[in-house]
Structure 1
Amino acid sequence: MEDEKHGEAHGMISDEIGQDVLKRIFFITERVIVFDGLDDVFEHIVKTSVMLTKAEAATIRVFDINTGKLAIVKGYGLSTGFLSQPPIKLGEGITGRVVLEGKPFSTEDVTTVPHCVHKELAKLEGIRAVMSVPLKTRENTIGCITVYRKQAEPFADHEMLLLNIFASQATEAVEKTRLLEELKKQAMFDPLTGVYNKNAILRELDAKIESARRHGYNTSIVFIDIDDFKKFNDTHGHLLGDKFLADFATLVKKCCRKGDLVGRFGGEEFLVIAPHTDKEGALKLAEKLRDAVSKHEFIGRDGYVHATLSAGVSSVPEDGLGMTDVLKKADDAMYQSKRSGKNCVTAAMSSNSLH
């Protein structure tokens, strides 16, 4: 009779666990469409993993294509010292093996595991029991979820099973969010130069002008055209022309300040937005760009070549309160630079140029 009661109670507990886990899996599946970004996804994964397994802490490691290593991208319930440990190679340590082999791992005492590479960190953190499961797509393994307990209490088989089920949903959430972020990036950025595309930079300009009007501060723009770019293309070919544009955009970004925005307006035309900057400040920025470009060595067919730019500068509110007016003033000023012999900067409504 007691065995029957025990069996019934065990069944009830299992049912309760199963229902709870299904609710959590359903929650993360549904929530994929409202995540703010990958960081939000990662935070949800580690917190849910802890609740799911009755662990005290969790981390998620993801393979970085640039470094070829696994880095901790989010943690919960762990010290900064533990979370700041360096990335590991595939096959290195417990988590490295989990990702390389695509198989889960569990131990009640991580300090006794021979291939654990961070035993001292684990001891300092007070970690004993560890369970790690891979994040597997159809093609490969992209990382792993690892949960931790500070007692030598092994994770149960059903907890391993449930974390594996959850990992499948978590992987889908990561992949979908990555895809959405990539699509957003493609919609905003010029694929050749990596700066904002025309539509995106115009949206940013409209927003910056509106903010400047509302709060009563200056915002300026620098409208740039590369001098004789068609001639460069004809002489050196379109492949090196693309390389030129990519290097030019990189150089412009390097010369700009942290808060400045750079966009490709079209062809060889670029636009720089300088918030909280008056016309004098924008002229200095434009001259800095002109000087840097004139000194830079771009790759040509038979060696390095030099290039120049022509630029026009306009400001809010001095040259207008609307995007159309400010853009036209900067564009007109840029063409005045062209008429003045190129390789110069002209302020809107002014014939003064900096050579």
Structure 2
Amino acid sequence: EQRLLAESLREIGSVLDSTLDMERLLDLLVEQVGRLVPYSAVFLYLIEKNTPKLVRTRVHETVPHEFAQSLQNTVFHLEKSSYFSALLDSHEPVILPAIEEHHTWIKSAIPLGAWMGAPVVSKNKAIACFSFVSLKPNIYTQNHANLMATFCSEAALALQNARLFSEVQQLATLDDLTGILNRRQLFLEGKREFSRARRYKRPLSLLMIDLDRFKEINDTFGHPVGDEALKTLAHILRKAIREVDIFGRYGGEEFVLVLPETRREEAIAIAERLRNMVEQTPINTLSGELRITVSIGVAEQTENTQTFEELVAHADQALYRAKQSGRNRVEGEDEGNK
């Protein structure tokens, strides 16, 4: 039995080491833990600032239908339980053999028999937590707790590796100064959206946004203030756009905003709204309050637009006209490009 258990743990470790993708890893964790611990349902939480966030739920296939749906849809608020606090403090699994004997357990419409919680600890800090419930009482033993302690050690390593990989991936795609997409990732995602719109004949527009008189800001106030202006501008724009939009730094003081499912007229209206928002938002810098403006060029993808780069060029030409016309304005693409 011990040999089979050791082999299972080795296999589980290999499975968890097989991916650095966080979403896939979370799936694997709730899949593999069932090889060691029986449950009616298992819940996996990620913990940030001592607050658990439910990320996965798995209900065992043997659970009767009338309970399965309820377990799938129930969120047990562990943060309200003293047993969760005990789990965080001790860094050890906590078992309630018979829930009915513990009146302080989280209230549930489902007649649960037993509960076990097991923390995933890394660098003396709980980063995740498994929560097991069973319809049968007295099912969890100290042996299960010991198995989970071993499993959670493997899980901690896998989660840390996945998080580090995610951070590295993020650093490779984001602009260091502004935290938005860098030019490489902007073009990668922009080309993907351009191809999708072209394939399905869907509308797509692009804004080229330029911070007006950026050189004067640097020359007058210094580069740290210039950097602060760029960061604040990116923050203002990012808060005002949709989740589906693609926003990145094109280079220097220029930004690109890709607007899926957006026609030229609507894109111009969006650009005007963004321009006005920037103009009305003062920036607090080390040199005092600074007011900035932007010029914006707008272009819409048409059947004559062959590449994403062409679309960018059309918006850039419109931007040039906006700046030539006095800055702090929006210009649409040349009709000859449509």
Fold match, TM over 0.5?
yes
Q: Which amino acid aligns with 1:82?
A: T
Coordinate RMSD, CA, aligned:
2.5
Aligned positions of 1:53-64 closer than 5 A: 53-64=37-48
Please give the secondary structure, in 2, of the residue aligned with 1:32: coil
CA distance 1:344–1:119, shift in 2 (3 Å):
closer
1:347 to 318, 322, 332: 332
Indicate yes or no: 2:316 matched with 1:328.
no
Aligned to 1:7: none
Match of 1:97 in 2: 86
Partner of 1:3: none
The match for 2:205 is 220
Q: Structure 1 residues 151-160 or 284-293, which shifts more?
A: 151-160
Larger Rg: 1
Equivalent residue pairs, number: 326
Which SS does the other structure have where 2:74 is aligned? helix
Asked whether 1:277 is paired with 2:269, we answer no
Give the percent of matched residue pairs that are identical in Structure 1 and Structure 2.
24
Q: Is the 8 A contact 1:193 1:245 kept in 2?
A: yes
- Post-superposition offset of 1:145: 1.8
Once the two structures are overlaid, the 10-residue window that deviates more, 149-158 or 200-209, is: 149-158
| SS of 1:146 mapped into structure 2 | strand
Question: 1:51 Cα shift?
Answer: 3.5
Write the letter of the residue equivalent to 1:182. Answer: E
Say whether 1:120 aligns with 2:120. Answer: no
How much does 1:222 deviate?
0.7
Rounded Cα–Cα distance in structure 2 between residues aligned with 1:152 and 1:84: 18
Aligned to 2:187, the other structure's residue is in SS state helix
Q: Which residues in structure 2 correspond to 1:1-355 (within 5 Å)? A: 13-29=1-17, 31-33=18-20, 35=21, 37=22, 39-65=23-49, 68-77=50-59, 79=71, 82-83=74-75, 85=77, 88=79, 93-113=82-102, 116=104, 118-121=105-108, 124-301=109-286, 303-317=288-302, 320-349=305-334
CA distance in 2, matches of 1:15, 1:341: 79
Mapped contact 2:211–2:254 kept (Cα < 8 A): yes
User: CA offsets, 1:113-132, max 9 Å, x none?
Assistant: 47x5x4423xx332232222
Tell me which amino acid in the other structure corresponds to 1:41.
Answer: L
Distance in 2 between the 1:327 and 1:93 partners? 57
2: distance between equivalents of 1:180 and 1:315?
36
Contact 2:76–2:106 (8 Å) recurs in 1: no
Tell me the distance in 1 between the aligned counterparts of 2:15 and 2:30.
Answer: 14
Q: CA deviation at 1:319?
A: 6.1
Preserved CA contact (<8 Å) 1:50 1:57:
no
Alignment deviations for residues 93-123 of structure 1 (CA, whole Å, 9 cap, x no partner): 2122212221222231234347x5x4423xx
Q: Is the CA contact 2:225–2:287 (under 8 Å) kept in the aligned structure 1?
A: no
Matched position secondary structure for 1:131: strand
Please list every run of 5 or more consecutive structure 1 residues that lacks an aligned counterpart in the other structure: 1-12
d(CA) in 2 for partners of 1:263, 1:46: 36
Contact 2:45 2:128 (C-alpha < 8 Å) held by counterparts = yes
Give the C-alpha shift of residue 262 in structure 1. 0.9
Check whether the contact 1:50–1:147 (CA below 8 A) recurs between aligned residues: no
**2:116 aligned counterpart, secondary structure:** strand
